[in-house]
């Protein structure tokens, strides 16, 4: 299941091409019309947008560091071959952890406003991100994995609660496996 040549949703959702995954668990990628981003309104906005990382983000590093300090070692990061290319996985225990940024994934707790500049683009972009996230979680479950999703604000506010959820998930997978 892991270690395929490409991953299901790891490349940009907006640029997906209809094809079948190369691993033993086949899933078809739907064809999606590419959403063309508008030009940045200023050089400083362009620089800020280029600085947004897809992996190894601050919240992700915080969670991984806390997992390590708590003795929850043995995870792998950004492994292809699973839907969504989870940020952290515990392979033997089939637990996939996603760390979502509050803006990019439309956190229900934070109620972050859409940008006023190019608002129609951002509304559609964030709507697609939410749809993609639901599809990914459904596919992960269908493959027998236990997905955990942590929001950026959740990690910042209650890291110990996040660690407890990971511990619980790992202990549940030990009992069922």
pLDDT, tens digit, 9 for 90 and up, residues 56-88: 888 999 999 999 999 999 999 998 899 999 999
pLDDT over 50 (residue 10): no
Could you tell me the fold of the domain covering 54-176? Endonuclease; Chain A (3.40.960)
Q: What is the pLDDT of residues 128-173, one digit of tens each?
A: 999 999 999 999 999 999 999 999 999 999 999 999 999 999 998 6
Q: What DSSP string runs through 107-168? A: -TTT-PPPPSTTHHHHHHHHHHHHHHHHHHHHHHHHTT-EEEEEEHHHHHH-HHHHHHHHHH
What is the C-alpha separation between 150 and 60, in angstroms, rounded? 9
Angle between helices 159-176 and 58-69 (to 10 degrees): 60
Across the chain, what does the average pLDDT equal?
79
Phi first, then psi: give them for residue 175, nearest 5 degrees. -70, -40
- Going by the DSSP 8-state scheme, the letter that residue 15 receives in this structure is G
3-state secondary structure of 77: strand
89 vs 37: which has the higher pLDDT: 89
CA distances from 72 to 5, 68, 111, 161, 167 (A): 28, 5, 32, 14, 8
pLDDT over 50 (residue 17): no
Alpha-helix residue ranges (DSSP H) falling in 23-72: 43-50, 58-69
What is the C-alpha separation between 22 and 7, in angstroms, rounded? 9
Question: How sure is the predictor about 24, in pLDDT bands with cuts at 50, 70 and 90?
Answer: very low
């Amino acid at each position: 299941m892991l270690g395929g040549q490409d991953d299901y949703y790891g490349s940009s959702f907006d640029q997906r091409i209809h094809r079948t995954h190369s691993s033993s668990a086949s899933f078809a990628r739907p064809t999606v019309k590419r959403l063309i981003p508008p030009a940045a309104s200023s050089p400083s906005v362009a620089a800020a947008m280029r600085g947004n990382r897809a992996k190894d983000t601050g919240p992700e590093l915080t969670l991984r560091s806390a997992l390590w300090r708590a003795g929850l070692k043995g995870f792998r990061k950004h492994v292809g071959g699973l839907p969504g290319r989870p940020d952290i996985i515990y392979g033997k225990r089939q637990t996939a952890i996603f760390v979502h940024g509050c803006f990019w994934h439309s956190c229900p707790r934070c109620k972050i406003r859409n940008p006023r500049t190019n608002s129609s683009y951002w509304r559609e972009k964030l709507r697609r991100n939410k749809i993609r996230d639901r599809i990914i979680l459904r596919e992960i479950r269908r493959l027998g994995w236990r997905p955990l999703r942590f929001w950026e604000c959740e990690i910042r506010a209650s890291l110990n609660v996040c660690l407890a959820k990971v511990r619980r998930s790992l202990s549940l997978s030990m009992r069922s496996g």
